[in-house]
Amino acid sequence: MNISEKNNEISKIFYKRYFEQNAINKIANEMTKFLWFKEGHFINPLKKEEIAKKYAEEEIDNFYNKNILIMPQVEFCITTRCTLKCKDCCALIPQLDKEHRIEMSFDDFKLYLDKILNNVDGIRRFIILGGETLMNPELPKMIEYAAGKEKIFDIEIITNATILPNQKLIDCLKKYNKKVFVYTSNYKGAEELANIIKIDEFEKVLNKNNIKHLKFESWSWKEEFGFSSQADDDEKTKEKFFKCDRIKCTQVIDGFLYICSKASAGKFLNGIIADGIDILNSKDLRNEIIEFYKAPYTEACKYCILSEKLIQPALQA
Ligand code: SF4
Ligand code: SF4
């Protein structure tokens, strides 16, 4: 069967979550590599759509004809502790009580990552985040471990820039500066955080050590309403899921792989059952991951309230 015949058979949600997202992340990766290291080739932003289509077709060929499974994006939440209490935190971190705080150990990080990598052929975009990521003291060891994995194409560390990196972390980021990048949230607009955010100092340290980094320049959040106690019906949930911009944010936390960080928090809030994949106990993780990308939604999505209202980022609770 050729690619266009296959293309007709693929459900819209599978195409969007797996093939299209792989293509989008591949382009982003190529653009940063060219911008920072003059590696690869220049991608004309005006031709992005055309190139994305071509890359998605390559991914279809890889998946169906070569049996290659590449996860477009995986986020490891290594701590739910945070230095801030954002009212509209999309991961609902400030709502998690102490009993439900999670700190991933390096040993668990290795176990989850190894099991996933043994069952897939690649992770295009591997993200380490929190809470506030730098609160986990084992972060440098985790970066070191992940950076040594050939199946991981690039690594991003997300931070709210309230804690400056220590020497151990700087050395590690420096060592892998062609594979590991830092993304800083830009909360400068939140006046009440003026004395807490250290973004300028943080960037100075990164620049001085030639560590590549990006900052979200103009970024607005959507108001967060958490979960409803009533489930939406099948059709409404499918529609909601298809337009949700967080369906790419596959999150690993507490040994499970969830559709997003909000879904994982749903496990602890409102009694909502989050239907994540049990990574270590899965008997056929590769197939479970494939089915995960094909799913029209997950259980938590039925209860999830999505808002379109744009608001100032990082307003504190
Ligand atoms: S949005 Fe980020 S900085 Fe704010 S509470 Fe959530 S995890 Fe912390
Ligand atoms: S739970 Fe589902 S609908 Fe809600 S933000 Fe996550 S992916 Fe989107």
At 67-99, the pLDDT tens digits run 999 999 999 999 999 999 999 999 999 999 888
Q: Which two tokens stand for residue 101?
A: 């705080």
Mean pLDDT, residues 103-111 taken together: 98
Please tell me the number of the ligand nearest to residue 298's CA: 2
Is 89's C-beta closer than 6 angstroms to any atom of ligand 1?
A: yes
The 10s digit of each residue's pLDDT in 173-202 is 999 999 999 999 988 778 889 899 999 999
Please tell me the number of the ligand nearest to residue 265's CA: 2
Q: How far is the CA of 159 from the centre of ligand 2 (A)?
A: 22
Instruction: Measure Cα distances from 239 to 260, 263, 291 in Å.
Output: 17, 17, 19
The 10s digit of each residue's pLDDT in 224-234 is 999 999 999 99
Does the pLDDT of residue 139 top 70, yes or no?
A: yes
Q: pLDDT-based confidence at 215, cuts 50/70/90?
A: confident
Is 84's C-beta closer than 6 angstroms to any atom of ligand 1?
A: yes
Lowest mean pLDDT among 3-12, 48-57, 251-260, 306-315: 3-12
Does the pLDDT of residue 7 top 90, yes or no?
A: no
What pLDDT is recorded for position 205? 97
Mean pLDDT, residues 219-247 taken together: 93
Provide residues with CB under 6 Å of ligand 2. 240-241, 244, 246-247, 259-260, 262-263, 300-301, 304, 306
Please tell me the number of the ligand nearest to residue 80's CA: 1
Question: Which residue has its alpha carbon closest to ligand 2 atom 3?
Answer: 301
Q: pLDDT-based confidence at 5, cuts 50/70/90?
A: low
Q: Which atom of ligand 1 is nearest to the CA of 91?
A: 6
Q: Which two tokens stand for residue 235?
A: 């059709």
Are 57 and 50 a contacting pair, CB within 8 Å? no
Q: How far is the CA of 241 from the centre of ligand 2 (A)?
A: 6
Q: Is 82 exposed, middle or buried (0-12, 13-18, 19+ CB in 10 A)?
A: buried
Q: How far is the CA of 291 from the centre of ligand 2 (A)?
A: 17
Does the pLDDT of residue 271 top 80, yes or no?
A: no
Span 70-311: which CATH code? 3.20.20
What pLDDT is recorded for position 218? 61
Does the pLDDT of residue 217 top 80, yes or no?
A: no
**CA-CA distance, 306 to 244, in Å (whole number)?**
8
What pLDDT is recorded for position 220? 77
Strands 180-184 and 122-129 turn out to be: unpaired
Please tell me the number of the ligand nearest to residue 184's CA: 1
* More confident site: 286 or 4: 286
Are 100 and 80 a contacting pair, CB within 8 Å? yes
Indicate the average pLDDT of the chain: 93
The 10s digit of each residue's pLDDT in 36-58 is 999 998 999 899 999 999 999 99
Q: How far is the CA of 80 from the centre of ligand 1 (A)?
A: 9
**CA-CA distance, 117 to 204, in Å (whole number)?**
35
In the chain, CATH 3.20.20 covers 70-311
Please tell me the number of the ligand nearest to residue 160's CA: 1
What pLDDT is recorded for position 4? 64
Q: How far is the CA of 88 from the centre of ligand 2 (A)?
A: 14
Taking the alpha carbons of 182, 123, 27, 313 in that order, is the dihedral positive or negative?
Answer: negative
Mean pLDDT, residues 8-33 taken together: 95
Q: Which atom of ligand 1 is nearest to the CA of 313?
A: 1
Q: Which atom of ligand 1 is nearest to the CA of 85?
A: 5
% of the chain exceeding 90 in pLDDT: 85
As a residue count, the chain comes to 317
Q: pLDDT-based confidence at 222, cuts 50/70/90?
A: very high
Q: Which atom of ligand 1 is nearest to the CA of 314?
A: 4
Does the pLDDT of residue 281 top 70, yes or no?
A: yes
Does the pLDDT of residue 171 top 80, yes or no?
A: yes
Mean pLDDT, residues 246-256 taken together: 96
Q: Is the pTM of this model over 0.75?
A: yes
Does the pLDDT of residue 35 top 70, yes or no?
A: yes
Taking the alpha carbons of 166, 169, 173, 179 in that order, is the dihedral positive or negative?
Answer: negative
Q: Which long-range contacts (CB under 8 A, 24 or more apart) does 266-273 make?
A: 266/227, 266/300, 266/303, 266/304, 268/96, 268/100, 269/92, 269/95, 269/96, 269/226, 269/227, 270/226, 270/227, 270/229, 270/303, 272/227, 272/299, 272/300, 272/303, 273/299, 273/300
Q: How far is the CA of 227 from the centre of ligand 1 (A)?
A: 18
